[in-house]
Amino acid sequence: MLRTKSPPPPADDVLALQALAAVAACPDLGPRFLALTGLDADGLRARAADPALLAEVIAFLAGHEASLIRIADQLTVPPAALAAAGSRLAEKGGAR
């Protein structure tokens, strides 16, 4: 019997950008994230490639397990993989 492996999750920054897009598109998460960060839509777009901001997006999701699970499911990755990507990005970009 052949076993098929699931594909590896995308690179950390790609996964976090996908999470950012999902958060931004969500009518309840998007405004809350902007309010907590003090960013507006233009500021968010300007910093979208910043590893520190991408880590903040995942930390925001990790702060509410149901949101982390919801976005991870939407991205078809395990919640632990999303959280781990956030940790690695925080190390790379410097946590605030």
Cα–Cα distance between 94 and 86 in angstroms, integer? 11
Convert the pLDDT of each residue in 12-43 to its tens digit: 999 999 999 999 999 999 999 999 999 999 99
For the entire predicted model, the pTM comes to: 0.85
Q: Which two tokens stand for residue 84?
A: 């781990």
Q: Which two tokens stand for residue 5?
A: 């492996």
- Where do the structural domains in the chain lie, given as residue ranges? 12-93
Q: Which two tokens stand for residue 6?
A: 């699931």
Instruction: Count Cβ atoms within 10 A of the Cβ of residue 81 and give its class: 0-12 exposed, 13-18 middle, 19 or more buried.
Output: middle
- Scored b (16 or more CB within 10 A) or e, 44-72 reads beeeeeebebbbbbbbbbeeeeebbebbb
Convert the pLDDT of each residue in 35-87 to its tens digit: 999 999 999 999 999 999 999 999 999 999 999 999 999 999 999 999 999 99
